[in-house]
Amino acid sequence: MTTAPVVLPQGGSCGPDTPSFARLSGRIQSGIPLAPLTTFRVGGKAEWYCEPHNHLELQQCLAWARAEGIPTTLLGAGSNLLISDAGLKGLVIGTRRLRGIQLLEGGRIWAAAGEPLVNLSRAAAKQGWSGLEWAIGIPGTLGGAVVMNAGAHAWAMADVLVEVEILDEEQEPCRLEPADLQFGYRRSRLQDSPWTVTGATLQLIPDRDPAQVQWQTRRHLNQRLSSQPYHLPSCGSVFRNPESHPAGWLIEQVGLKGYRIGGAQISERHANFILNCNQASAKDIYRLIRLAQEKVYQRWSVLLEPEVRILGSFED
């Protein structure tokens, strides 16, 4: 992968008014391909990209983007988003280096925003703390899981969250409780806010038999692997489930199971998954999303709402 050294956008400055720039020199790069950083394996380039190694560098990256007047996009495990072939404008901040887990008293566990959920689930199970068995198969990070209120097996992040740590719009650290976040099904207030999640504390059930918790964790993982297609690149579930029926069932009923556009296919195993079967473009996947919405609405008068975040321009 070829990267270019950082060059300030026109009109920018690296003098006294931007004290963080000297520290960021060489870390912010231009023209970085984003496809390898997503589970769909599609998408164009980031105009600017960086991967902060710690909390201070994250604040500096956000401050730099704000000083330059460019938008920011946070990228965790890249598992719940579709990035357009045109790429993304502004600064993309990869959080995968912002990791860390701390076991606290009374079954509480803290983790940094970039910590993979699978690591968190395994750490809790090893300790004999119950409450994260469901998270073992979700291919995302803690930060993204809090923002999306990720869940499975009738559990969700809202059920275990005690406190979330954020940087507000002024890049000042704050702590929020679940009541502040307006949690709903795959929703939270964080999705529509300028805040940046940096870490979170979860409350689990301590003093369980570690062997039993680990068995239940493996059981959830095996169930997910046997019922959902993970042999090809995907984003996980594409649509939120409506109240009437699961999204996958609705898509299957309109005859789209296995349907292909270009290199993308609606999975034959689970119709709420779209797979990158053969060097698909983001546009191929986007067209399948819109087709599924159209067909389901025509038959059932139900508008499927994407769970996947769709970023960038998909205009012809």
Contact at 8 Å (CB) between 139 and 236?
A: yes
Strand 88-94 and strand 72-75: pairing?
Answer: parallel
Range list of β-strands (E), 116-195: 151-152, 155-156, 161-167, 173-176
φ and ψ at 288, to 5 degrees?
-65, -40
Would you say 67 and 18 are in contact if contact means Cβ atoms under 8 Å apart? yes
Which of 159, 130, 158 is closest to 217 using CA atoms?
130
Containing H/E element for 21?
Answer: helix 21-24
Is 240 among the residues known to form the active site?
Answer: no
Contacts of 245 (CB under 8 A, 6+ apart): none
Q: Rounded CA gap, 313 and 278, in Å?
A: 22
Q: Which token pair is 161?
A: 């969250």
DSSP E strand stretches across 76-205: 81-83, 88-94, 101-103, 108-112, 151-152, 155-156, 161-167, 173-176, 196-203
Give the closest residue to 147 by CA, choosing from 184, 118, 190. Answer: 190
Active-site residue among 84, 130, 237, 281? 237
CB 182 within 8 A of CB 188: yes
Taking alpha carbons only, the member of 309, 314, 310, 263 closest to residue 284 is 263
Q: What is the CA radius of gyration of the chain?
A: 20
Answer yes or no: are the C-beta atoms of 77 and 304 closer than 8 Å.
no
Active site residue 99: no
Decide if 115 is catalytic.
Answer: no
Which of 186, 252, 267, 281 is catalytic? The answer is 186
Catalytic residue list: 186, 237, 307
